[in-house]
Amino acid sequence: MNVQGKINNLLKALRQQGIVYKINTQQFYSESQGQLCTKLILWEEHPNRDGEVFFSKVKLLKYLAEKWKEVNGHGRAADGENEGTEAANERKAGGIL
């Protein structure tokens, strides 16, 4: 699974809706794990303010997907372009198709 590609696509889609996110990464050494760890920081505004912190790209992807659902009406197209698909799914569920 190409997580970074999906993150980039969601960032692009949100940017087209007027919501601009910036992602910053920081590395630090974890004594408990004995290795370098990467922290992802999602900024909606100015980077000197606190941002949303993630330690996993998958969790960042899930967060952005939730934001996209909020912006796009819970997974439905804002202009109603999914209406035909929804009607087909209802007919299929009802045994019509």
CA 59 – CA 23 distance, rounded (Å): 13
Range of the domain at 49: 3-93
pLDDT of residue 78: 46
Q: Which residues contact 92 (CB under 8 A, 6 or more apart)?
A: none
For 16-72, write each residue's pLDDT tens digit. 999 999 999 999 999 999 999 999 999 987 666 788 999 999 999 999 999 999 998
The number of folded domains in the chain is 1
pLDDT of residue 49: 73
User: Is the full-model pTM beyond 0.75?
Assistant: no
- Give the torsion sign (CA, 18, 45, 62, 1): positive
